[in-house]
Chain A
């Protein structure tokens, strides 16, 4: 334990005291019309002192602690096992996927309404994360404004239905295409930038879109949002108690069953499920197509990729646009699920959460991203008592993950390609 460690630890402890005592120790209390400053309670003072002591000890033994933390990946029993053979792994993966889909199909009929609603949200996040995975995981473009395209999808549907009475099924492709168009237009100027610069500019674009939505009051209703977004219909059958639109019939009357609010929730869930599966399959195909390989090649070595005739702009734009397309998909479903949207739903935190899902799951890996989406959406719901500490727990989990398994839950595995020897 070197002397400079002691000095450093003392310094850190004092900084802790200086920062936390005024914040936690002084309270403003109102006495009648006056506001007075109250000193700290003894328990708070003790708490602050304890915190400073912990900081002191941690910094003092920092080298040892970090050293043993670094051993953690080795403690992980799964870290160094031999990779499974490809045929076996694919079989296992497809069985697992089939089971998951079967489970997902049964789910709405056994779970409560709230649980089905939550599952719909999980599916929306899966779509978002799979889309962002293309941009960040495969193409290596750090996009911090992804939520903008989600917003474009949601607002397209909301506005189209409000002004033109367009139904969910028409709005779905339109929303996705509009989001893709936004991706294309925004991508064009920003994709010249690299790394951190790209991250900052996309972050800015994300905020600009949200602020625009907030301020174009006459069109979007500003912070009040847009309500009354219609539910999807099933072949012209509505799920409400009463039929709202001329020419439609209602679901429960057609089938002669009693009205239940649950039908609508289940229906939406099933739509989200189908769309999520389509998203996963489409992106899986894309990854194995020339575009997908071009994304990765450009991420690996830009100069080599260009020397082989790949156009940097075209390849990056395609990733950006396709990612935006699926965000638009998810946005439309989200608008329909909520029935009401406002700029509140599209803050930077959403982008951060989607990005966290991609990183936690393992960049480029679909299975990992799906698992991470489930975990990140459901865990906060399960631990509602701790909801105040949600972000703190989230942050701690991220740090631990980075130490324990920096490559993500299930890092991407390359598929092996069988070749025939040529004569």
Chain B
């Protein structure tokens, strides 16, 4: 469903991403790994429309999306989280989930001000969807706290829930396990698998936690210094000499 072809991104003299290609099929979890500064987040930023790539193509469901404005890409069903969590911190947890559903509640101003039955019905649906996902990620009791006051792990889960209420087709997770303790990482592991199995969402994920990556990924792409190094199933990657060299060389 997603195809990235020879993607390049240059910042002045720095070629942060150089001819990277990858593809994601429906019902698949694909990981992008690589040492710090390899250009993984930059690939995400190009895919989600934050950067306009300097070269290459990005196809989503057969249509070219490179260079499209970020909010339009998100509306196509390509939604992401951030390496450094970005919540609306002075809004409550539920409100964070309601903001994300603005398109489900796309009624005109007047019907909202007058609270027409049609509006109420849609509003109730978004509340129910928010409640469902809060329950799913275990934040039901926090519903009316300010999002900024949550613990770090909870913030991470809220960010994923906030993506899920938009009913995305493809979810991009940038280091979702960063800063989580082992127990939380295990829950995350299960959550991501369930997103694929139960909600039919494809996932692209950037992650440094190798056991998580090897556990849940269907395929892995390795990037090193902006260039693609290897790609394949977890087993293939584990045995790939170049990858071993790159990681050992780094360590």
Contacts and interface: CB of A to CB of B under 8 A. Distances in A.
A286 interface: yes
A43 interface: no
Given A293-B95, A417-B144, A421-B140, A300 B88 contact: yes
Given A303-B50, A304-B86, A306-B70, A293 B99 contact: yes
B113 to A, nearest CB: 5
Contacts of A421: 131, 135, 140
Interface string B63-88: 00000011110110001101000111
Nearest to B129: A422
Interface string A258-286: 00000000000000000000000010011
Interface stretch (A23-31, A51-59, A210-218, A309-317): A309-317
Q: Which of A286, A307, A312, A421 has the most CB of B within 10 A?
A: A307
A286 B110 CA distance: 10
Contacts of A285: 112-113, 115
A294 B115 contact: no
A290 B105 contact: yes
Contacts of B135: 421-422
Contact of A417 (B50, B82, B143, B163): B143
Interface in B136-190: 140, 143-144, 146, 162-163, 166
B128 interface: yes
Contacts of A347: none
Instruction: Give the size range of B's interface with the partner.
Output: 35 or more
Contacts of A296: 88, 90-91, 95, 99
B201 to A, nearest CB: 16
B170 to A, nearest CB: 13
Contacts of B162: 308
Interface residues of A, number: 29
A294 B92 contact: no
A305 interface: yes
A81 interface: no
Contacts of B109: 286, 289, 291
A-side interface mostly: helix
A301 interface: yes
B88 A297 contact: yes
Contacts of B90: 296, 300
A310 to B, nearest CB: 6
A309 B73 CA distance: 8
Contacts of B127: 417, 419-420
Contacts of B106: 290
Contacts of A417: 92, 94-95, 127, 143-144
Interface in B197-251: none
Nearest to B165: A308
A414 B95 CA distance: 10
Q: Which of B72, B99, B100, B112 has the most CB of A within 10 A?
A: B99
A294 B89 CA distance: 14
Nearest to A296: B91
A416 interface: yes
B98 A293 contact: yes
Contact of A419 (B48, B82, B103, B131): B131
Contacts of B134: 419
Given A286-B113, A307-B70, A308-B79, A420 B102 contact: no
Nearest to A293: B99
Contacts of A420: 127-128, 131
Interface in B51-71: 69-71
A52 B89 CA distance: 47
B117 to A, nearest CB: 15
A296 B98 CA distance: 12
B130 interface: yes
A416 B71 contact: no
Contact of B99 (A308, A312, A422): A308
Contacts of B131: 419-422
A293 B95 CA distance: 7
A419 B98 CA distance: 12
A308 B74 contact: yes
Contacts of A422: 128, 131-132, 135
A307 B48 contact: yes
A419 B143 contact: yes
B138 to A, nearest CB: 12
A275 to B, nearest CB: 15
A307 B109 CA distance: 23
Given A300-B91, A311-B71, A417-B127, A305 B144 contact: no
Contact of A304 (B75, B87, B115): B87
A322 to B, nearest CB: 8
B89 A300 contact: yes
A156 to B, nearest CB: 22
Interface in B95-128: 95, 98-103, 105-106, 109, 112-113, 115, 127-128
Closest 10 CB pairs of A and B: A304-B86, A300-B88, A422-B132, A419-B131, A309-B74, A289-B112, A416-B144, A290-B102, A297-B99, A309-B75
Given A296-B90, A305-B99, A422-B135, 7 more contacts: A297-B88, A300-B87, A308-B79, A308-B163, A309-B71, A414-B144, A416-B92
8 contacts: A289-B112, A290-B99, A296-B91, A297-B91, A303-B86, A306-B74, A307-B79, A417-B127
